[in-house]
Copies of this chain bind each other. A is one copy, B any other.
Amino acid sequence: MMIRALVFDVFGTVVDWRSGVARDIRRVIPDVDAEVFADAWRSQYIPALDQVRRGELPWTNLDELHRASLDELLAEYGVPDTPESVRAELVLAWHRLDPWPDSVPGLERLKKRFVIASLSNGHVALLVNTAKHGGLPWDTVLSAELFGHYKGDPEAYLGAARLLGLPPEQVMMVAAHVDDLAAARACGLRTAYVHRPQEYGSQPAVPPPCSDPEADVSVASLTELAERLNA
């Protein structure tokens, strides 16, 4: 493998969205079960992206998608009177998520040997804020926003390789989600699976697989990825 750059899924792979979002929900809406609400909020994500992918919605960034699903959920969970300022504040919870403990040490090592960049469905501003909050040492932020296509669509993966000036086979997609990796692989990228058993909490309805047999490597942390890639 001749790999020059690694591009990373962020939410779930590099940062722990569930704990961070639940922490802010607990603070501002103490009446709901924060973890259940966080899971419900995240579960709206895939159908919302699919609407954009199918062209039923024009390009809509994650703040806007998060806000629309938040408004629905607040009604559903019996807190429809939540004020505007609290809603705006909650959308920003997604901008200040903590990295998993191995993320920054792993990225620091990988950065010495490879170009490292995000490749997330989050928009650039969200990713810059998340990196600033958690000290993620990206060489640059790459986002679905730059291509007008959410991941899953080939434009996102091929666009990342093009902007980095590399053929797809010299770029490795790193993610905790097998569908993201499968779409990257279909575009010719190398793939690394990261097992994040806590992404959906300690008792997830569907535990993520321990490894992805289709990926070039499967690891349990970004520091293990650095070891495997001799970084």
Which residues of A are in contact with B by a Cβ distance under 8 Å?
Answer: 115, 117, 123-128, 131-132, 138-141, 145-146, 163-166
Contacts and interface: CB of A to CB of B under 8 A. Distances in A.
Given A125-B165, A146-B146, 15 more contacts: A115-B128, A115-B132, A123-B165, A124-B140, A124-B165, A125-B164, A127-B140, A128-B139, A128-B140, A128-B164, A131-B139, A138-B140, A140-B140, A141-B141, A145-B163
Nearest to A61: B165
Nearest to A164: B125
Contacts of A138: 139-140
Number of copies: 2
A117 B132 CA distance: 12
A127 to B, nearest CB: 8
A166 to B, nearest CB: 8
A94 to B, nearest CB: 13
Contacts of A124: 140, 163-165
A139 B141 contact: yes
A11 B177 CA distance: 39
A110 to B, nearest CB: 13
A128 B139 CA distance: 6
